[in-house]
């Protein structure tokens, strides 16, 4: 299966998800869905269609990082009980870190 997103790739999402994810959280069909969801979220947040206007974007890697962080949040939140980490606190910390990183990049890009 090929990547279906524009801003980020499955590989970038997998890096953001990390090594302790479950099989469902790293399934490419799911990561493609989460990438598209992240793209829509970012486009709505910036009030600018990032996918339609991708060719004219600068800082594409920042958009990719933000989209992969957002997609990772959706993936990791899919079923936190299957996420192989020792504690709920570890899971919450990683989700919080991913969210803050995505939002920081979105704030930079919207300035």
Interval 86-91 mean pLDDT: 72
What's the pLDDT at 84? 67
93 within a domain of the structure (yes/no) = yes
pLDDT digits (tens, 9 = 90+) for 11-60: 888 888 777 777 777 788 888 888 999 999 899 988 999 999 999 999 89
DSSP 81: G
Short-list 63, 61, 75, 73, CA closest to 32:
75
Our measurement of the distance from residue 28's CA atom to the centroid of its chain's CA atoms, rounded to an integer in Å, reads 13
Single pTM value for the model: 0.81
Q: Which domain holds residue 76?
A: 10-110
3 within a domain of the structure (yes/no) = no
56 within a domain of the structure (yes/no) = yes
1 within a domain of the structure (yes/no) = no
2 within a domain of the structure (yes/no) = no
17 within a domain of the structure (yes/no) = yes
Short-list 53, 68, 59, CA closest to 5:
68
16 within a domain of the structure (yes/no) = yes
62 within a domain of the structure (yes/no) = yes
Q: How many domains does the chain have?
A: 1
């Amino acid at each position: 299966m090929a990547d279906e997103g524009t801003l980020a790739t499955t590989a970038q999402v997998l890096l953001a998800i990390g090594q302790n994810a479950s099989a469902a959280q790293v399934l490419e069909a799911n990561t493609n869905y989460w990438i598209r969801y992240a793209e829509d979220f970012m486009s709505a947040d910036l009030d600018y269609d990032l996918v339609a206007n991708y060719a004219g974007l600068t800082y594409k890697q920042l958009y990719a990082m933000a989209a992969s962080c957002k997609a990772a949040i959706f993936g990791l939140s899919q079923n936190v009980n299957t996420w192989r980490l020792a504690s709920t606190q570890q899971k919450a910390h990683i989700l919080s870190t991913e969210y803050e990183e995505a939002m920081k990049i979105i704030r930079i890009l919207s300035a």
